[in-house]
Amino acid sequence: FGVAKLLLDGYGASMECESETGWSALRSAAAYGHTEILNYLLGRGADIKVRNNVGWTCLHSAADEGHTSAVQALLDHGANPEDTAYQGWTALTLAADKGHHDTVELLLERGVDVEQSSETGWTALVCAADGRHLYACKVLLGHGANLMATTHAGWTPSIRAAHSGGLRLLNLFLQVHGLDMDHLDNCGRSPFFHAAMRGHVGIIKKLLPMTQMANHRDRYGTTPIFAAARNGHRRVVELLIEAGLANFEER
């Protein structure tokens, strides 16, 4: 902090000087969580609305890195938590995508819409599920996040959790009464299909007794067992054969 203050006060350094990609003193303080410097720069009138080359504000940078105190300082100085960056990403979706549950909690407490989504329909819960971020998902669900929110590709939080191997997440999601675990994405693939395709044995064991889609073909005519075999997931193939789901004349 002392060096930054010396450069500004003693040598007349410019707060607004930026790199070609939009990095400024304020953005650096936000991205690295230097809250004292951040407050000092904001107190001197640094532009809180400045964006970099992909449309990120300083709030986006702080949220993406999970610097909750920096996020709070920016919000206290008037940063807009609804601002969208490239492809519609917001501070909330960026924080959720990285699993920064404390930052997610703060943004939601400040009134941010839990169903904010990117241009391709990714809500914060879909982002958190894709990254297997259990605590971020718990925070989002506690604030009423929709478990059946669907991206433009037809992906739900459950599908992304199954795809990425998030067994603990699926156990959490299954506690929600009436959750449709057989939802199909735009390719005709259920959470079970995604788990088979990716070789997630624990999820296959969990979903096998409850799914109606264990032998369902996707839009390309592929079954879960064929997808598992094609990707070399031997244990999944063995489980599905044991369950009587093998038809070696089909693909």
For domain 150-251, the CATH architecture is: Alpha Horseshoe (1.25)
- With respect to CATH, is domain 90-146 assigned 1.10.1660.10? no
The answer, as to whether pTM is greater than 0.75, is: yes
Query: CATH number for the 1-80 domain, one of 3.40.50.620, 1.25.40.20, 1.10.1200.10, 1.25.40.390?
Result: 1.25.40.20
Indicate whether 21 pLDDT > 60: no
Per residue in 212-227, pLDDT (tens digit) is: 999 999 999 999 999 9
Strand, coil or helix: what is 123? strand
Sequence-ordered list of residues with C-beta below 8 angstroms from that of 209, at least 6 positions apart, any chain = none
Lookup: tokens for 192: 């079970």
- 213 vs 7: which has the higher pLDDT: 213
Q: List the chain domain ranges.
A: 1-80, 90-146, 150-251
Q: Do domains 1-80 and 90-146 have the same CATH topology?
A: yes
Over range 18-27, report the average pLDDT: 68
Over range 17-43, report the average pLDDT: 81
Q: Which helix (H) or strand (E) holds 115?
A: none
Among 44-48, 83-87, 102-106, 148-152, whose mean pLDDT is lowest? Answer: 44-48
Over range 108-133, report the average pLDDT: 98
One-letter amino acid at 134 equals L
Round to whole Å and give the CA distance between 192 and 211: 7
Nearest CA-CA partner of 125 in 101, 152, 153: 101
